[in-house]
Amino acid sequence: MREGAGEMSRERYAGADRLRDGFLAAGYTVDGVAARLGPVATAALARHETVPARRATASGDPLDTVVRLFLLQLPVDQKAATRALPLDVAVSLGVLYADGDEVHARLDVRPYGEDDITEPWWVVSDLGTGLDGSRRPLTAEHVLGVGGASTMLAQLTPRSAVGRTLDVGTGCGVQALHAGRHSDHVVGTDVSVRALQLAGLTAALSGVRLDLRPGDLLDPVRGETFDLVVSNPPFVVGAPAGATRHTNRDSGLPLDGVSARLAGAAPHHLTDGGTLVLLANWVLRDGEPWDERVAGWLPTHGVDVLAVQREVLDPAEYVATWLRDAGERGTAGYLERYDGWLAALEGDRVEGVGFGFLVVRRTGAERRLATLDWPHPVEQPLGPHLAAWLDRQRWLAAHQADDALAAATVTLAADVVQEQVGSPGAEDPEAVVLRQQVGLRRAFASDTATAALVGACDGRLTVGTLAAAVRQVLGDDGGGDGAEEGRDLLAQVRVLVEAGVLTPSV
Ligand X SMILES: C[S@@+](CC[C@H](N)C(=O)[O-])C[C@H]1O[C@@H](n2cnc3c(N)ncnc32)[C@H](O)[C@@H]1O
Q: Which residues bind ligand X (CB under 6 A)?
A: 144, 150, 153, 169-171, 174-175, 189-192, 195, 216-217, 232-234, 247-248, 251
CB of 7 to ligand X, least distance (A): 24
**Residue 357 main-chain phi, psi, to 5 deg:** -145, 155
CB of 217 to ligand X, least distance (A): 4
CB of 292 to ligand X, least distance (A): 26
| Of residues 67 and 153, the one with the C-beta less far from ligand X | 153
| Of residues 153 and 298, the one with the C-beta less far from ligand X | 153
CB of 222 to ligand X, least distance (A): 13
Instruction: Give yes or no for a contact between 341 and 272, defined as CB atoms under 8 angstroms apart.
Output: no
CB of 4 to ligand X, least distance (A): 20
Instruction: Give yes or no for a contact between 120 and 30, defined as CB atoms under 8 angstroms apart.
Output: yes
| Of residues 54 and 310, the one with the C-beta less far from ligand X | 310
| Of residues 173 and 500, the one with the C-beta less far from ligand X | 173
- Residue 117: partners with Cβ closer than 8 Å, 6 or more residues away: 181
| Of residues 221 and 412, the one with the C-beta less far from ligand X | 221
| Of residues 249 and 362, the one with the C-beta less far from ligand X | 249
CB of 45 to ligand X, least distance (A): 19
Instruction: Give yes or no for a contact between 36 and 63, defined as CB atoms under 8 angstroms apart.
Output: yes
Q: How far apart are CA 441 and CA 377, in angstroms?
A: 8
| Of residues 103 and 230, the one with the C-beta less far from ligand X | 230
Instruction: Give yes or no for a contact between 228 and 122, defined as CB atoms under 8 angstroms apart.
Output: no
- Identity of the amino acid at 80: A
CB of 149 to ligand X, least distance (A): 6
Secondary-structure percent of the chain, ordered helix, strand, coil, rounded to 5:
40, 25, 35
| Of residues 83 and 213, the one with the C-beta less far from ligand X | 213
CB of 262 to ligand X, least distance (A): 9
CA neighbours closer than 13 Å in the CB half-sphere of residue 362: 19
CB of 32 to ligand X, least distance (A): 23
Q: How far apart are CA 74 and CA 68, in angstroms?
A: 5
DSSP class per residue in 239-303: PPTTSPP-TTTB-SSSTTHHHHHHHHHGGGGEEEEEEEEEEEEEEEETT--HHHHHHHHS-SEEE
Sheet with 443-446, edge to edge strand ranges = 417-421, 431-435, 443-446
Q: How far apart are CA 306 and CA 358, in angstroms?
A: 6
CB of 130 to ligand X, least distance (A): 17
| Of residues 191 and 440, the one with the C-beta less far from ligand X | 191
| Of residues 197 and 436, the one with the C-beta less far from ligand X | 197
- Residue 450: partners with Cβ closer than 8 Å, 6 or more residues away: 489, 492, 496
Q: How far apart are CA 229 and CA 269, in angstroms?
A: 8
- Residue 322: partners with Cβ closer than 8 Å, 6 or more residues away: 236, 239, 249
Pairing outcome for strands 226-231 and 162-168: parallel
